[in-house]
Amino acid sequence: MATPLLYNVVVLRSKAQAQALEDVLEANLEFGRFIKKLRVEGGYGSSMHTILESAPNITDLVLSLAICSADSTDGLCTGLSLINPCRLILLETSWQPLTNRQERALRNAVILDCIPSWSNLRIVGCPYSSFMLTMNPGWIDRAMNLSRALLKSDVHTTILCGDLDSIPPFVPPLYDIPSLETLQFQPLDVHYDAPLISIINGDKRLKQLAKYTLTDRRNSEVLNEPYITPSQNPHFTPMKSASEQTRETVWKRVLFFAMYAEEASFSRRPSQSRPSRLPILYVSKDFHLCGNSLTHQRLALPYLYHSVKLTIHNAQKLSDTF
C-alpha cells in the first residue's frame, strides 16, 4: 500500500540518484507508473530516458535548464517526448546564462519540440525575473524564445511569472494566446510594487489576465515583530553554567535552522521570510565573525559558506576573505 506514495513525488539532484532510480524501475516496471511529480535538476545521462519511459503518468514536471557542459542531456532530450505533463515549471540560474552543447540540446528539446506538442500542458512556470533580465541581456532572448513557443502551442490556461517589478518584453506577446486565462504574478506589495500594479490596471487585457496577492510589507513587519520581554539581568548569559561542548551542540543546532543550512539556493536579496545570514554572526562572541575564538569556525562559518554564489560583484571580496 505504501509503494504508490513512496514514488508519487520524485526529486533527482544527482546522477547517482538517477542511476539508482533507473535500476529500481528496470527491476520493477510497475513502480514507474506511480510517479506523478518529477523534479530534475540536471542532465544525468542515459538514465533519464529509462526513467521517463517508465513513468508515463507524470503530471507535474520541474526541470532545470541550467546544465553544465559535462552533464549529458541525451537521455533527457529523447525521453521528454514520452511524457505529456499538465504542469511544467522551468528553472534557471539567477545570474549568468550557461551556454554549452548539452544546455542548448535540452533547451531546444523543451522549447521547440515538447512545449508545442504536449497536449495536456495547461500550466507553465517561467523562470525569468526582472533582476535576471537587468543583469544580463542574454536572458531576454531566452525569454522571448519561450514566449514564442507558448504562442505556438496555444493550450495553456495559466502562466506563472517570475519575480517581476515591471512588464518585460516577453510578457505582452502572451496576451495573444486565446486559451490563456491567468497570468499569475508573485505577491505584490501595495507600496514597493505600486508602479507595476499601476501598469497592470492601465492595460485592459493584462488586467483581465493578471492574478496576484496584495501584501503590505510595512505593516506586516510591524505586526509580525515578536515581543520579547527584556531580561531583568542585563549581564545574563544563556547556558553559562553548561559545559562548552553542551553550549556548542545547542547553538550549532539553533544556527542550523537560523541560517537555513538545508537550503542550497537562496533569494537574490534578503527578505522578511528569508533574511541575511551575516548579521547572525555578530550576535555573540562565541560565533562572531571577527572573534578570536575558534568556536565561530565550528559553528556559524560552515553554514555561511555552505552555498556560495559568485558574481562579478562579490568574487574579489570573497577572495580577500580567504
**In-domain check, residue 266:** yes
**Ramachandran region, residue 44 (left: φ > 0; alpha: ψ -120 to 50; beta: rest):** left
Last residue of a domain, one of 216, 250, 266: 216
Q: Look at residue 131 and tell me whether its pLDDT is greater than 60.
A: yes
**In-domain check, residue 141:** yes
Residues 209 and 252 in one domain: no
Q: Which domain holds residue 284?
A: 235-321
How many domains is the chain built from? 2
Mean model confidence pLDDT for the chain: 83
The closest alpha carbon to 114, from 77, 159, 71, 62, belongs to: 77
Last residue of a domain, one of 156, 185, 216: 216
Last residue of a domain, one of 216, 247, 265: 216
**The Cα angle at residue 148 between residues 147 and 151, in degrees rounded to 5:** 90
pLDDT in tens, 273-308: 555 666 666 666 665 543 334 555 567 777 766 666
285 in Cβ contact with 293 (< 8 Å): yes
Residues 182 and 279 in one domain: no
| Partners of 320 in beta bridges | none
Q: How far is CA 8 from the centre of its chain?
A: 21
**In-domain check, residue 190:** yes
The SS3 call for residue 298 is: helix
What is the Cα–Cα distance from 61 to 68, expressed in whole angstroms? 20
The closest alpha carbon to 209, from 255, 254, 160, belongs to: 160
**The Cα angle at residue 222 between residues 280 and 277, in degrees rounded to 5:** 15
Helix (H) or strand (E) holding 72: none
136 in Cβ contact with 171 (< 8 Å): no
**Burial class (CB within 10 angstroms; exposed 0-12, middle 13-18, buried 19+) of 75:** buried
**In-domain check, residue 262:** yes
Specify the DSSP class assigned to residue 123. Answer: E
**In-domain check, residue 46:** yes
Residues 29 and 66 in one domain: yes
Residues 108 and 207 in one domain: yes
**The Cα angle at residue 48 between residues 157 and 52, in degrees rounded to 5:** 50
Residues 205 and 297 in one domain: no
The closest alpha carbon to 276, from 285, 284, 267, 264, belongs to: 267
What is the Cα–Cα distance from 168 to 190, expressed in whole angstroms? 20
pLDDT in tens, 177-217: 989 999 999 999 999 999 999 999 999 999 999 999 998 87
Residues 199 and 254 in one domain: no
Residues 196 and 306 in one domain: no
pLDDT in tens, 45-100: 999 999 999 999 999 999 999 999 999 999 999 999 999 999 999 999 867 888 99
**Whole-number Cα distances in Å, 175 to 51, 179, 183, 314:** 36, 10, 9, 39
Residues 68 and 185 in one domain: yes
**In-domain check, residue 120:** yes
**In-domain check, residue 74:** yes
CATH number of residue 58's parent domain:
3.80.10
What the block records as the C-alpha cell of 160 is: 506563472
Tell me the range of 51-60, 245-254, 271-280, 308-317 where mean pLDDT is highest: 51-60
**In-domain check, residue 230:** no
What pLDDT score was predicted for residue 53? 97
Residues 197 and 280 in one domain: no
Helix (H) or strand (E) holding 275: none
Residues 167 and 276 in one domain: no
What the block records as the C-alpha cell of 148 is: 514564442
CB neighbours of residue 190 within 10 Å:
13
Residues 170 and 300 in one domain: no
Q: Which of 108-117, 146-155, 174-183 has the lowest mean pLDDT?
A: 146-155
Residues 143 and 246 in one domain: no
Put simply, whether the predicted model's pTM sits higher than 0.75 gets the answer no
